[in-house]
Amino acid sequence: MNFLLFVSILLLNSCALFSPNSKDKTYSYLTGVGLNNPMPEQVKKALTRASSMSGGNYQFKAYPYTYTLVDSMVREAAAQRGLNEKQQMDLRNRLEKKYLADRTCFHFSYEVLRFAESSRLQDWKLSIVDVSEQEFPAQWLEEDQLKKPVRTKKIVAGDKLDKWLSDGAACTEASPKLSSGFGIKVTPKFVQFPFDKTAKVYWEFPEIKMIDGQAQEVEGKKKNFRTYRGW
C-alpha cells in the first residue's frame, strides 16, 4: 500500500512538473474580453513586461493603464473602503481622466545600480511604439516628476554599491491601438560604453475573438512585430 501511495505521489508531481504553461491572456487583460472581475494585481501581472540594460545595472518594468485595470481598481477600492455608487463613479471618472481620456499611459518602475546620472525619474525617457514602428514620446505626470528615488545599498562582489529605485506614470496624447500589439522604447540619461543607449520591450499575443459567445484564440493569428524583431 505504501509503495502504491509513493508511486501515485510521484506521478502527480511528474504531471505538475511537465504540465503545459497557461495560455497568454494579454489580449483579454487589455480588452476585458473573457474576464470575470479580475483584481488589480492580476491585471498588472498579466500586462507587465520587464527587461534590463547597461549590462544589468538597470532593471525596469512597465504595464499599460487600461479600462480593465481601472475597473478592477474601482472594485477593489469599493470593497476595501466601502464606497457607495456615487463615490465609485467619482473615482472611476478621476482615474479615467488621469490615465485614459484622450491619452495612453504606462506605469514604469526601475532600479539603477551604480550610476547616479540615471537615478531620477526625469532621467528616463519613454516612448510608445505601435506595430508600424511609429514612436509616440510620453511625458511623466507632474506629480510623479516630484518624487525622489529611494536610495539603498547593494553588495556586489564584495563592494557596497549605491542603488536607486523609483516609479511613475508616463502618458502620450496619441492613442495607438494596444490590442494590435505595441512596445515601449526606454532611454536613460546615461548608459556606460559599450552598451546600447536605448532598450525596447514589446507585447505580442494571440488574437482573441468572440465565437458563439465564447472568447477563443484564433489559430494562426498571433500578433507580432515582424518589421522590428531585432529588438
State yes or no: pLDDT of 7 exceeds 70. no
Crossing angle of helices 85-99 and 67-81, rounded to 10°: 140
Percent of the chain scoring above 90 in pLDDT: 66
- What pLDDT score does 141 carry? 96
- What pLDDT score does 220 carry? 45
Considering the domain boundaries, does residue 196 fall inside one?
yes
State yes or no: pLDDT of 3 exceeds 70. no
Tens of pLDDT along 77-95? 999 999 999 999 999 999 9
Whether the Cβ atoms of residue 95 and residue 87 lie closer than 8 Å to each other:
no
Considering the domain boundaries, does residue 14 fall inside one?
no
- What pLDDT score does 156 carry? 86
Report how many domains make up the chain: 1
State yes or no: pLDDT of 114 exceeds 90. yes
Considering the domain boundaries, does residue 119 fall inside one?
yes
Considering the domain boundaries, does residue 48 fall inside one?
yes
Domain region containing 164: 22-228
Whether the Cβ atoms of residue 46 and residue 24 lie closer than 8 Å to each other:
no
- What is the residue-averaged pLDDT of the chain? 85
Considering the domain boundaries, does residue 5 fall inside one?
no
Considering the domain boundaries, does residue 143 fall inside one?
yes
Number of helices (H), then strands (E), belonging to the chain: the values are: 6, 11
Considering the domain boundaries, does residue 15 fall inside one?
no
- What pLDDT score does 99 carry? 97
- What pLDDT score does 205 carry? 82
Considering the domain boundaries, does residue 194 fall inside one?
yes
